[in-house]
Chain A
Amino acid sequence: EADIYQTPRYLVIGTGKKITLECSQTMGHDKMYWYQQDPGMELHLIHYSYGVNSTEKGDLSSESTVSRIRTEHFPLTLESARPSHTSQYLCATRLINEQFFGPGTRLTVL
Chain B
Amino acid sequence: QQPVQSPQAVILREGEDAVINCSSSKALYSVHWYRQKHGEAPVFLMILLKGGEQKGHEKISASFNEKKQQSSLYLTASQLSYSGTYFCGTEIPPGNTGKLIFGQGTTLQVKP
Residues of chain A touching chain B, judged by Cβ–Cβ distance below 8 Å, are 31, 33, 40-43, 45, 48, 50, 56, 58-59, 90, 94, 97-104
* Cα distance, A33 to B41, chains bound together (Å): 14
Bound state CA distance, A90 and B32, in angstroms? 17
Q: Which residue from chain A places its CB closest to the CB of B85 in the assembled complex?
A: A40
Q: Mark B89-110, 1 if CB is under 8 A from A, else 0.
A: 0001000101111111101000
The reply to whether B103 and A42 form a contact with Cβ atoms under 8 Å apart is: yes
Q: With A90-B41, A101-B42 as given contacts, are A40 and B107 in contact (CB-CB < 8 Å)?
A: yes
In the assembled complex, the Cα of A28 lies from the Cα of B93 at a distance in Å of 25
Docked-complex contact A41 and B101, CB < 8 angstroms: no
Please report the number of residue pairs spanning A and B whose Cβ atoms sit closer than 8 angstroms: 52
User: Given A48-B99, A50-B98, are A43 and B47 neighbors across the interface (CB < 8 Å)?
Assistant: no
- Closest A residue to B103 using CB positions: A42
Given contacts A40-B85, A42-B87, A59-B1, contact A101 B41 (CB under 8 A): yes
Separation of A100 and B2 alpha carbons in the complex (Å): 20
Evaluate contact between B41 and A104: CB separation under 8 angstroms. Answer: yes
Closest beta carbon of chain B to A6's beta carbon, Å:
9
CB distance from A65 to the nearest CB of B (A): 18
Q: Is the interface of A mostly helix, strand, loop or mixed?
A: strand
Interface assignment of B30: CB less than 8 Å from any CB of chain A:
yes
B74 to chain A, nearest CB (A): 20
Please list 10 pairs of residues, one from A and one from B, whose beta carbons are closer than 8 Å in the complex, sorted by A's number: A31-B98, A40-B107, A41-B105, A42-B87, A45-B99, A48-B98, A50-B98, A99-B34, A99-B42, A101-B41
Query: In residues 14-64 of chain B, which contact A (Cβ within 8 Å)?
Result: 30, 32, 34, 40-44, 47
Residue of A nearest to B41 (CB): A101
Residue of B nearest to A101 (CB): B41
Task: Tell me the nearest residue of chain A to B107, going by C-beta.
Answer: A40
- Assess whether A43 is in contact with B102, with CB atoms less than 8 Å apart: yes
Q: Chain B contacts of A40 at CB under 8 A?
A: 85, 107
